[in-house]
Structure 1
Amino acid sequence: MMKKAENIIVGISIGDLNGIGSEVVLKTFEDTRMLELCTPVIFANVKIMSFIKKNLNATVALHGIDKLDQIIPGKINVFNLWREGVDLNLGENDEKVGEYAIKSFVAATKALKEGVVDVLVTAPINKYNIQSDEFKFPGHTDYLDQELDGNALMLMVQDNLRVGLLTDHIPLNEVASHLTEELIRKKIETVRQSLVQDFSINKPKIAVLGLNPHCGDGGVIGNEENAILTPTLKKIFEKGTLVFGPFAADGFFGSGQYEKYDAVIATYHDQGLIPFKTLSFGKGVNYTAGLNKVRTSPDHGTAYDIAGKGVADYNSFKEAVYLALDVYRSRMEYIEISQKPLKVKEKQ
């Protein structure tokens, strides 16, 4: 049975407390209409959130809870994950603050796994100050891939623009060696399945970008297209998936060619994210496709340079909440339809 809107529980990991994460979270829920769409649970501490709220002159009403079974619908719940005070130096990189960012994220992920929260929205972390003997992951996505069932894939979303990646956080000089038939098949299938169940697109069309300039110009400036991309895409297409390419990346977005497809898959990080962030105008969302749970995040970082100044744009975080809710509902509908037995007409 589908949950009522306000009963969808949105777990929020607070991110780096010295960055803009807390600000964009509080600004998002200053609009009380958001509480008609969901019930937020912030994994942090109500005292520190109240301090940040006062610093920003925010008007939100925070409801502190000590146990997750105390969540009240229609309130901005703050789960007191720790009791001690945290020294903040807004705008500064601090390893101690990084520890609290991960404490929040790990606890929120656990609640997501256990079904205490329905979706997870993560505020930005600093990938450098989160590293420790207990947490050795480049970022959120890699940890979620370990903790949740499925195959995680970063899918950047803004309305009908969706950009996925064959490779993500690896050095540029290693990209070509990672492009195997197995990887390409797995990533394309992850995107296809996500478009069907998470975005309600029955027969999605997917474009794949080439690795080299001009797709290698027939092998003159790189052979990855001829050797691996083109033949693999042909095999996948022949199996029934509407996948097209590889396309030369340089003119693909500027010409508007991307608008013909339900998703675009880039071969490496900057090839996909530079045009995406240029086109999304600060409203883009990072969605982790391919997992058995829903997680989104804004498409920006900690922004230390403006932290604590009250000028951070919260639209990307707000869109991340909206997308998490939309995907959750779409996925529930997909599961409901998939479980319905087919009705077979009796012969007259």
Structure 2
Amino acid sequence: MDKSKKNKPVVGITLGDINGIGPEVIIKALEDSRILKFMTPVIYGSSKVVSYYRKALDLSDFNYHQIKDLGQLFHRKVNVYNLWEETVEIKMGEENETGGKYAFLSLKAAVADLKDGKIDAVVTAPISKNNIQSEEFKFPGHTEYLAETFGVKDHLMLMAGDKMKIGLVTGHIPLKAVVSALGKELILKKLSVLDSTLKKDFGIKKPRIAVLGLNPHAGENGLLGNEERDVISPVLKEWKEKGNLVFGPFPSDGFFGTLMHAKYDGVLAMYHDQALIPFKTLCFETGVNYTAGLPAVRTSPDHGTAYSLVGKNEASESSMREAIFMAADIVKQRRVNDGEETED
């Protein structure tokens, strides 16, 4: 293997739910010829599934190299790693047990190779959080599964786009459980992970971080809630005293309404929709879901299975493409940090 091939990150891509838009957006994203210049992509799944969607959507210009193990990688083509030989019945747009079964087989194999260092990053295509549940997968989503697999307690769901990077203190939990879940220790941990990933993975030496309040108007000095005064503000005070650039807590409506997010390198939100609604409003086509705090790199497009779009050739591949490029960029940034590569 020549040096140029060796230095290119090997990026695994899971198929996701085979009845969702995952296969379509993967194929469309990998049609971008620039990708092969910067990385070696490996689709974890089945060439039969890929071929089915290529034919069904008339994407005949897409070509790939089939492999049965990573020793057969071809660095100038897209690789499809055949994990199963059987022909699987595809029912486009239908959420069923088959979609969940093969989504997990793809995910399990890719994450195992990522953990073993056989590949450099994983990009996960959308799954149904309902049909993937099994004895082996009892998690709210990818993030929790990856954290458990890598034995990482302090991790962060980070939504990253060209206009904003926003992390979540609480993720996939019911809204009524958010208040009881929030605490000084949890907020401090999430703030620390956000700060660390902005430095390590995105190359920002001295990040400016904005923190949102929980309640309307950030509690209005206790009139609308005490969490800002009693929990969030003390954490920010402690963080500032250590020389970090942290600001807030901000009322989230005014914060996004006045586009204040543009003044900061990262934003920390208290709960899921507080982050995801503004993020998807501003970055839906280019947004990426990144699991910060892992020893390995995992990204994902910021959308779901979109069953209603399957088979219509209408799904946009923009977010998947961005997720693939971001995975490779973070791998390279970590190599720069470790002195393995120099910045261009």
TM range (shorter): over 0.9
Q: Which residue does 2:25 correspond to in 1? A: 24
Q: How does 1:84-95 map to 2 (within 5 A)?
A: 84-95=86-97
Task: Look up the SS of the partner of 2:145 in the other structure.
Answer: helix
Residues 337 and 66 of structure 1: is their aligned pair in 2 closer, same or farther, counting only changes over 3 Å? closer
Give the AA of the match of 2:119: V
Give distance in 2, aligned partners of 1:276 and 1:115. Answer: 32
Q: TM-score, normalised by structure 2?
A: 0.95
The residue aligned with 2:331 is: 328
> Aligned partners of 1:298 and 1:31: how far apart in 2?
16
Alpha-carbon RMSD across the aligned residues, in angstroms, is 1.6
Q: Distance in 2 between matches of 1:311 and 1:335?
A: 41
Letter in 2 for 1:288: T
1:64 to 1:70, Cα distance in 2 relative to 1, 3 A = same
- Give % identity: 51
Structure 2 counterpart of 1:45? 46
CA distance in 1, matches of 2:221, 2:9: 51
Matched residue SS, 1:278: helix
- Which of 154, 166, 171 is equivalent to 1:168? 171
2:190 maps to which residue?
187
Report if aligned partners of 1:6, 1:39 keep a CA contact under 8 Å in 2. Answer: no
Kindly provide the CA deviation profile for residues 125-162 of structure 1, in whole angstroms up to 9, marking residues without a partner as x: 00000001121011110010011254321111112510
In 2 relative to 1, CA 294–266 (structure 1 residues): closer, same or farther, beyond 3 Å? same
Tell me if 1:101 matches 2:89: no
Question: Partner of 1:341 in structure 2?
Answer: none
Contact 2:284 2:302 in 1 (8 A): no
Deviation at 1:98, TM superposition (A): 0.5
1:311 and 2:311 correspond: no
Change (3 A) 1:22 1:109: same
Partners of 2:35 and 2:325 within 8 A in 1: no
Would you say 1:177 and 2:214 are equivalent positions?
no
Work out whether residues 50 and 62 of structure 1, in 8 Å CA contact, stay in contact via their aligned partners in 2.
Answer: no
* Number of equivalent positions: 337
Q: Distance in 1 between matches of 2:36 and 2:340?
A: 28
Counterpart of 2:114 in structure 1 is: 112
> Where does residue 281 of structure 2 map in the other structure?
278
| 2:231 match | 228
Tell me if structure 2 keeps the 8 A contact 1:152–1:291: yes
Gaps of 5+ in 2: none
Contact 2:162–2:286 (Cα < 8 Å) also in 1: no
Of 300-309 and 2-11, deviating more is 2-11
User: What residue identity is the alignment partner of 2:103?
Assistant: A
The amino acid of 2:116's aligned partner reads E
Equivalent residue letter for 2:165: R
| Contact map agreement 1:90 1:304 (CA 8 A) in 2 | yes
- Give the drift of 1:4: 5.4
Which moves more between the two structures, 94-103 or 144-153?
144-153
Partner of 1:33: 34
Q: Which amino acid aligns with 2:216?
A: P
Partner Cα separation in structure 2 for residue 28 and residue 37 of structure 1: 14
TM-score of the pair, normalised by structure 1? 0.94
Tell me which amino acid in the other structure corresponds to 1:114.
Answer: D
**What SS does the corresponding residue of 1:17 show, helix, strand or coil?**
coil
Aligned to 1:128: 130
Q: Is the 8 A contact 1:6 1:36 kept in 2?
A: no
Residues 13 and 44 in structure 1, CA contact (< 8 A), matched pair in contact too: yes
2:326 and 2:79 mapped to 1: Cα distance?
Answer: 20
Q: Which deviates the most, 176-185 or 14-23? A: 176-185
Q: Which residue is 1:346 aligned to? A: none
Deviation at 1:67, TM superposition (A): 1.3
**2 CA distance for matches of 1:24 and 1:221?**
44
